[in-house]
Amino acid sequence: MRILVVSPGFHGYASSFGRTFASLGHHARVHVYDHAGAGVDRIGMRLLHRRPEHALAQRTRRNLTDRAIDALRMYRPDAVLVVRGDLLDQAWWDALAAHPARRVTWMYDELRRMTYSDETLGRIGVLATYSARDADALRTRGVRAHHVPLGFDALEPIRARPTRGVTLIGARYPSREEALRRLAGAGVEVTAFGRDWSRHPVDVLRTGAYAHPGVRSGRELSRGQAYGAMRDSAATLNLHADQDGFTMRTFEAAGVGAVEICDRPDVDRFYEPGAEVLSYASTDELVEQCRRVIADPRWADGIRARARARTLAEHTLAHRLRRLEQLWA
């Protein structure tokens, strides 16, 4: 089929969806709807996230919507995957409803963080979300909603990135910073990668994160580098904030063959704790898990192998996109 993916840039995942569809035998085209150029475009995108009622934000939303509609009309797809989509206004959904293409919308975030109205949700068509809680709530409101978790992009090349000790790759939340400081205080070597962890002067100025995180840190990594850092460190931490869905990191860390240490025991929906991933319920238990991984690499290697095998068998993006194909059929 001719498939159009309409997605935010989202750390390069838009391209991942397109090439995964291609690997499944489809002709896929990707339209990144939140691409911002320089100057006014970039300011408009910032306002759209922070002050959506602002006139420039509204103009930016119309521009994003018009470009998405143009892509739909030019490509004339048989099916459309909309990823998130909340920055597009009602004209997009009207154009999509009038088009003969089959369609599904996939959310990688909780609805409470998005700007959808109840009216739009009722007209959006089939909706998939990584949040089982949102899927249940939407179904009670009459929306055709399904729980479809995120997954591992097995087509992304892994770039070797040997890193000592335990790694964390992601945003700098207070809860994460506290966990890393506790580990470092217990003598566990840790490194955090990301723009707001970085002490590089450019990153400090861009983020305003002037306070030192108290642990060794590095700059933001490309996804291939992040895969390598997770795989090539003793273990990698998957620490959630207030998400109720499981992030991409859950499946990526396991998929690259890392020892993943997760802060949520309900990861057992996807992996066997203690055999394929590690989970913990207290900081003392986290310290103990990290120390054991470092002290017993043979035991850790067994976790790595089982995690990767389980992921490739059940939790890749190809598995998720096949599920989305069933929903728009």
Q: Cα dist. 115→4, 52, 164 in Å?
A: 23, 9, 41
Q: Which residue would you say has higher pLDDT here, 260 or 143? A: 260
Alpha-carbon span 80 to 8, nearest angstrom = 14
Task: Give which of 86, 77, 59, 247 is closest to 168, Cα–Cα.
Answer: 247
Range with the lowest mean pLDDT among 2-16, 107-121, 198-212, 216-230?
A: 107-121
What confidence score (pLDDT) does residue 49 get? 81
What confidence score (pLDDT) does residue 329 get? 64
Alpha-carbon span 197 to 210, nearest angstrom = 10
Q: What is the value of pTM for the model shown?
A: 0.93
Q: Is the pLDDT of residue 223 over 80?
A: yes
Specify burial of residue 256 (Cβ count, 10 A radius: 0-12, 13-18, 19+). Answer: buried
pLDDT band at 46 (very low <50, low <70, confident <90, very high): confident
What confidence score (pLDDT) does residue 203 get? 93
Q: Which residue would you say has higher pLDDT here, 61 or 153? A: 153
What domains lie within the chain, and their CATH numbers?
Answer: 2-148 (3.40.50), 166-314 (3.40.50.2000)
For the record, the structure tokens of 40 come out as 């006014």
